[in-house]
Amino acid sequence: MQKNKDMEQGLYPLKFMPLFKDKIWGGNKVRDLVGIDYSPLNRLGELWVLSNIEGEETVVENGFLRETTLSEVIEMYNDELLGEDNFERFGNDFPLLIKIIDAHDNLSVQVHPDDSYAHKHNMANGKTEMWYVLQADQGAKIYDGFTQKETKSDIINRLNNHTLTDVLHSDDAEKGDLYFLPAGQVHAIGKGVLLAEIQQSSDSTFRIYDWDRVDDKGNPRQLHLEQGLSVMNFNKQIGSSKVDYHYHLNKTTNLVKCPYFTTNIIPLTSPLKKDYTLYDTFFLYFCVAGKGMINCLNQRIPLKAGEIMMIPAISEEVIIEPNNMMEILEITII
């Protein structure tokens, strides 16, 4: 693919309209802290900023492709949008799902399948994910893995005796904390945490414990104990999934690199030029704080907290212009 054939095709940086998910554990931080209006909902658990899940696809917000789904844009532009390797690998099935999650109450203790299990059970993909904490109330927790070696029978007994939380590993959550959660890792987002989630394009979740919670009608939510125990990686359940990193202002710092996604952080107080000449892949700019302008393919487009922009693979150069301060998660597959 030749990058210099961009403008004759009319492709440009794409912004997307979000999807709003009301959850029993949701709150109002997406409105109060991020500044996104999700009325008429009274609460919001998940803001899907980019999705290709069947029946729940986000659509383009800007330009002549407005109201076109992501898969439709991929069908039109193929490797010019995704890059040759990515289009050959994924076709029209965009491989990532990007969210903001507001845990006003504890999320269920859960685990996700890997690709092998998912494909054997008619699921699109497994689910490896990462979390980047945007805000956390004092004392808020992230739960991941166990404090000691546990077997399948141990977990069953603890669930029956309501003592699973006695061995759940937890960290006090703080803004900027980073967690990498491979498929098979038990985890839960604790009450009071607001975070960005980057994951494989999958909505497959197996709940193994829901804090003895009931819904608005007094019914407990469905659990998936058999499936959860089948996919749980008991060999990697001790300790934390927290990842240490050190970032530098006005520079790009890698946070996570795995077969499913690469995520970098770009904290900005002055303009930054990005050279993508040597990369044949898309880049996602997920703004998690502040606002600014993105200059790319002869377009100058605003981007603010809670929004995402897709930089096509044909792009050679991007200039990011923050308005005082801006923080971007740069996401791709390389």
Q: Is 185 exposed, middle or buried (0-12, 13-18, 19+ CB in 10 A)?
A: buried
Least Cα distance to 241 among 51, 112, 137 occurs for: 112
Catalytic residue among 43, 207, 213, 221: 207
207 assigned to active site: yes
Contact 187, 111 (CB under 8 A): yes
Q: Let me know how long the chain is.
A: 334
Least Cα distance to 58 among 12, 14, 3, 109 occurs for: 14
Looking at this protein, which amino acid is placed at residue 69? T
Active-site residues: which are they? 207
